[in-house]
Structure 1
Amino acid sequence: MADVLTLPNWLRTLGTGPHGAHRRALRDDCGEVTFAELVEAMDAVAVGLRRAGLHTGDRVVTAMEPSIPHTVVILGALAAGLVAAPLNDRLTGPEARAYLATLRPSAVIADTAHASLAQETGCRVIELPAAADHLPVADRTAPLASRGGPLAPPAEDSPAIVFATGGTTGVPKGVCHTHRSLWLWLNTCAHGNPRTVTDVELFFSPFFHITLGTNLLAPLFAGGEVWIQRRFDAGSALAAIDRGASRLMGAPTMFTALRGHPAFATTRRENVRAIRFGSAPSTDGFVRGLLRDFPNARIRAGFGATEFGSVMGFDHEDLLADRFTGVGRPLPGAIVRILDEEGRDVPAGVVGDLVVACPWQAQGYYGLPEETAETFRADGVHIGDRAARSEDGWVFIVGRTKEVIISGGENVYPREVEEVLLRHPGVADAVVYGLPDEHWGERVEAGIVTVRGTTVDLAQLRAFCRADLAGYKIPKRLRRLDAIPLTPNNKPDRRRVRTEALAEATGTGAEASRVAPGPPTEPR
């Protein structure tokens, strides 16, 4: 079995070896397990799932809080040759049913906190009533845990795990990784962002997001330790850092929350050796703050997507050289191209469609052959991002095809505008969107969060933007926000901000006094 590229087999080499078996693998609020105990629990759940009547290739949905039992159930499903599908627990019952209609799961495994959501899916539910109790892992995974195993390994090219896309434009699609692509992806994460067996990774992300791979499974793959928190809470995260967590990963908003917490100043941060951030544009002030506040950490930024995992990034040395914008260079093994409408590579500085091909990309959308064919093409994966590349190969994401604002016949990509706005010293966060406009067709608007104690008006922002943006890209309206709402995947929720702005503009929403308008025929 050792020569089969599956995650369960790889973990068995760690859990049965003389040096790694007794090292702690996972810790959560209710307990901890060594690598040997993790493998034993994984195989026990695999046997239990088979004895519960599930067969090779069946989809197993998990509706659980981030925890050791949740991890074990996912690994047990992989070890049993089933397809694990962590569910977005923020979905309503009808939303969950719509998403699962394509997956057609054979069972939903739920803890007590999510039992009602699981029942609303209409699927067979297996509840783990003691998942959140301070008990041994076998009791926390009862009634699934069963003696026996390990089972014969599944084929490398068979489906292993399904992650849901963000679902910002409708029902999420299930992105399916094979055992081989999952193994290769985790291997890339482990080596592209080097880890050691002495690392302690702090995990505070949802399991349905691909950070399950980059921030939990990849550290386990490398033989390191992971501390799982049920949800992001700045105070709890700082307490874990004070106790010795040495690696952090999250969106810029999460690190901003850490640094704004009262306990931040007294937290021991010198033991943090690595930080990785992504999901949204960052500012040079944000990065300089990380470099200052975590002096022993090597800081990296990454770019990826549910369809292909991590594929680009920039390193600590790039940040020290004051290179803060864009998404960096391709990782080894990733082929990144920027193409025009005819499928030809565009010159440096020209915006085109971002196309990615790599050995660890997903195989497609589960049960959706037409959508798979549209996105997963012969030349690579087309996810709808628009990008440009510098002469030295540095990639910049300017927006998404579906988010493009067509103002006066010109294309405006929100992310390009956001990155300029974020350079303003009074802007802490920003989101850009388009609204209908009688004169321009669509007008560019921006929602901003100001730095505490500062005020910023539309005229100031427009003047600031003129050095870097063409006139038609500069926001014509400004909304002041207390915070930028996030999607379940911790990305700016542009659709929600746009909907609220549209309600205000039409007089159906909140007061419009927070909107600073500009003249509709101002120069472009």
Structure 2
Amino acid sequence: MGHELTLPNWLRAIGSGPHGAHRRALRDDSGELTFAELADAMDAVAVGLLRSGLRTGDRVVTAMEPSIPHTVVILGALAAGLVAAPLNARLTGPEARAYLATLDPGVVIADPAHASLAHETGCRVVELTAAGERKPVADRTAPLGSHSHSHSQGRGGTLVPPAEDAPAIIFATGGTTGTPKGVLHTQRSLWLWLNTCAHGNPRTPADIELFFSPFFHITLGTNLLAPLLAGGEVWIQRRFDAGSALAAIDRGAGRLMGAPTMFSALRAHPAFATTRRENVTAIRFGSAPSTDDFVRGLLRDFPNARIRAGFGATEFGSVMGFDHEDLLAGRFTGVGRPLPGATVRILGEDGCEVPAGVVGDLVVACPWQGHGYYGLPEETAETFRADGVHIGDRASRTEDGWVFIAGRRKEVIISGGENVYPREVEEVILRHPHVADVVVYGLPDGHWGERVEAGIVAVRDRTVGLEELRGFCRADLAGYKIPKKVRLLDAIPLTANNKPDRRRVRADALAEATGTGPAGSADMPQGADTPEGADKP
């Protein structure tokens, strides 16, 4: 094989080395693989994909649960010079067809759990019927990873190594504003991104990473492919389940990554108190704002863990974060500082950088950023510009470079002619001692154009009234940013990417406001509001 800096080449090097060959790389509910076995299985699937009639650059869509076979198929596609494209298996058939129309897949690889969705796409489908069974990996990946393929090629021997600038993998955006778009990474940008993750969140070969996220999300890179690149083990669970995750932690899984809601679910589980949490050495959280109490709880509950928070996007992977030392110093909010190699600028309407404390457009440039939206040249030109990637986030920064996300430009609420960014309001509300979680959104209003509302999950056995919340917010928020209505929720629904589903909460609130949905709100008394400008500091 060549010496190109690609993930398959690196995994072969680990698998053939004296220290890595017999070290476990992956485990799931049905088996495990050493690095040597992983490299062989990857190359066997690569040969199988090419023998199925695929050509260099063809898209290989996967509709599968998180598993060893799913990992091997993705790596096999990379090794064959094909383009892996994990599919959001939560999409409906019509949604999947709309997304894949742009990708024009050569094949959809499916396991039994998602075979029906795969066939609904109208694409050619190859089913891995034994993917979930306790069998050797060649059987679990058959008909692609058959024994004959594995023996015929000998760890990549007959495969032509892809160039570093060749297309490698496509991640779907969250699709919160319509049909998801596929962000393309080359072999090189993927390699650089995984190295950034490995250096920014250091690992040792003895580490066991617990993975329970869907593969179509960029966490596939940050906490599955990056640990493999670093020579560590990944323990894959099909989905997040607090009891299963705690059992894995008790048995030695020591690295965790997830949204704050997932860690809250761990803490609420009956097995939490008896789980050997001293095993946990690293925690990384992101996806949503967090409270001071949440972070202090992590520091207390996982005393041996170095805790980090990160910020990234499908378009450019991980680009900002803050470290354990920042948390110990009491810095719990915002998204931290740019990672080495990432250039983060905040621009005003004139395209110039704004002063500290002023909200502007977030623009990110880094060597590992994506290379545009596959098959969508106009959308690519709008987002991936010469000066960096413009994803539509609004942000500000302090004098010492600490970045705060205000919200997305498309989520902005225009109330009385003033811009309100939901995340800015959420971060204030989350400081209230009786608020466990919150999502802020705007609804049509005859007087203000839009009004600010908040869906709140209260701390157990507590409640939060509207006037109490408005009084709490008044010290930190201008009057026009303070919610005019509060809806009490049991939980904040999440998108497929495990982020708060603002659209769904807003739709439920709109249905309630128009008399077509369930009640559950704390309305402000009529006439109690002051003119918008009166509350401004």
Shorter-chain TM range is: over 0.9
1:8 match: 8
1:519 corresponds to which of 521, 526, 533 = 526
d(CA) in 1 for partners of 2:326, 2:349: 32
| Contact residue 398 and residue 415 of structure 1 kept, 8 A | yes
Tell me the residue number matched to 1:188.
Answer: 196
**Which residue of 2 is the match for residue 357 of structure 1?**
365
Distance 1:377 1:201 in 2: 35
Partner of 1:92: 92
Correspondence for 1:37? 37
Q: Distance in 2 between matches of 1:422 and 1:409?
A: 26
Q: How does 1:341-356 map to 2 (within 5 A)?
A: 341-356=349-364
- What do the CA deviations read for 1:90-126 (whole angstroms, capped 9, x no partner)? 0010100000000000100000111110000000000
Give runs of aligned pairs for residues 45-60 of structure 1, distance below 5 A: 45-60=45-60
2:164 to 153, 156, 159: 156
Which residue in the other structure is 2:255 paired with? Answer: 247
Is the CA contact (8 Å cut-off) linking 2:485 and 2:521 kept in structure 1? no
Q: Deviations over 1:442-500 (max 9, x none)?
A: 00000000000112100110000011000100000000000000000000000000000
Q: What SS does structure 2 have at the residue aligned with 1:296?
A: coil
Is contact 2:2-2:161 (8 Å) kept? Answer: no
How far did residue 514 of structure 1 move?
2.9
Matched, 1:489 2:497: yes
Question: How far apart are residue 12 of structure 1 and its match?
Answer: 0.8
Task: Pick which of 142-151 and 374-383 moved more.
Answer: 142-151
Question: Equivalent residue for 1:262?
Answer: 270
- 2:15 alignment partner, SS class: helix
Give 1:516's aligned amino acid: D
Identify the residue that residue 185 of structure 2 maps to in structure 1. Answer: 177
Residues 2, 10 of structure 1: 8 Å contact kept: no
Alpha-carbon distance between aligned partners in 2 of 1:224 and 1:50, rounded to the nearest angstrom: 29
Q: Is the 8 A contact 1:175 1:306 kept in 2?
A: yes
1:322 counterpart residue number: 330
Q: Which residue of 2 aligns with 1:402?
A: 410
What secondary structure does 1:364 align onto? coil
Q: How many residues align?
A: 523
> Can you list the C-alpha shifts for 1:269-308, whole angstroms capped at 9, x where unaligned?
0010000000000000000000000000000000000000
Alignment check: 8 A CA contact 1:166 1:489 kept: yes
Partner of 1:503: 511
Aligned to 2:214: 206
Return the alpha-carbon distance in structure 2 between the equivalents of residues 283 and 8 of structure 1.
40
Listed as ranges, the gaps of 5+ residues in structure 2 are: 533-537
Q: Which amino acid aligns with 2:400?
A: D
Cα distance between partner residues in 2 of 1:234 and 1:428: 18
Task: Give the root-mean-square deviation of aligned CA atoms.
Answer: 0.8
Paired amino acid for 1:77: A
CA distance in 2, matches of 1:312, 1:192: 10
What is the distance in 1 between the residues matched to 2:383 and 2:464? 41
Structure 1 residue aligned with 2:446: 438
Tell me the amino acid that sits aligned with residue 10 of structure 2.
Answer: W
Take 1:31 and 1:515, find their aligned partners in 2: how far apart are those partners?
51
Is the Cα contact below 8 Å between 2:488 and 2:520 reproduced in 1?
no
Distance in 2, Cα, partners of 1:251 & 1:442: 29
The residue type paired with residue 64 of structure 1 is: M
The whole-number CA distance in structure 2 between the counterparts of 1:394 and 1:191 is 20
Match of 2:71 in 1: 71
Offset of residue 515 of structure 1? 3.7
Distance 1:261 1:513, change over 3 A: closer
- Give TM-score, length-normalised by structure 1: 0.99
Q: What's the secondary structure of 1:270's corresponding residue?
A: helix
- Give unpaired runs (5+ residues) of structure 1: none
Asked whether the equivalents of residues 477 and 518 of structure 1 are also in contact (C-alpha less than 8 Å), the reply is no
The alpha-carbon deviation at position 516 of structure 1 amounts to: 2.3
What amino acid maps onto 1:102 in structure 2? T
What is the CA distance between 1:376 and its match in structure 2?
0.1
User: Does structure 2 conserve the Cα–Cα contact (< 8 Å) formed by 1:203 and 1:249?
Assistant: yes
Amino acid in structure 2 at the alignment position of 1:8 = P
- Cα separation, 2, equivalents of 1:434 and 1:520: 20
* DSSP 3-state at the match of 2:96: helix
Letter in 2 for 1:271: N
What secondary structure sits across from 2:42 in the alignment? helix
Determine the C-alpha separation between the residues in 1 that align with 2:520 and 2:50: 60
Counterpart-to-counterpart distance in 2, 1:442 and 1:221: 48
**Inter-partner Cα distance in structure 1 for 2:202 and 2:171:** 24
2:387 is matched with 379
Task: Check 1:304–1:518 CA distance in 2 against 1; reply closer, same or farther (3 A cut).
Answer: farther
The offset of 1:513, in angstroms, is 4.7
2:465/2:522 contact within 8 Å kept: no
State how far apart, in whole Å, the 2-side matches of 1:185 and 1:61 are.
Answer: 21
Measured in 1, the distance between the counterparts of 2:34 and 2:42 equals: 12
- Local SS of the residue matching 1:319: helix
- Aligned position for 2:535: none
Distance 1:520 1:408 in 2: 17
- Identity among equivalent pairs (%): 83
Instruction: Give the equivalent residue in structure 2 for 1:467.
Output: 475
Q: Deviations over 1:25-48 (max 9, x none)?
A: 000000000000000000000000
Determine if contact 1:439/1:521 at 8 Å carries over to the other structure. no
TM-superposition CA deviations, 1:44-101 (whole Å, max 9, x none): 0000000000000000000001000000000000000000000000001010000000
- Equivalence for 1:286: 294
Counterpart of 2:458 (choices 450, 453, 467) is 450
Name the CA distance, whole Å, in 1 between partners of 2:374 and 2:527: 46
Over 3 Å counting, the alpha-carbon distance change for 1:486 and 1:513 in structure 2 is closer
Instruction: Note if 1:27 corresponds to 2:27.
Output: yes
Structure 2 residue matching 1:37: 3-state secondary structure: helix
Question: Which is worse superposed, 1-10 or 47-56?
Answer: 1-10
- In structure 2, C-alpha distance between the alignment counterparts of 1:235 and 1:162, rounded to whole Å: 32
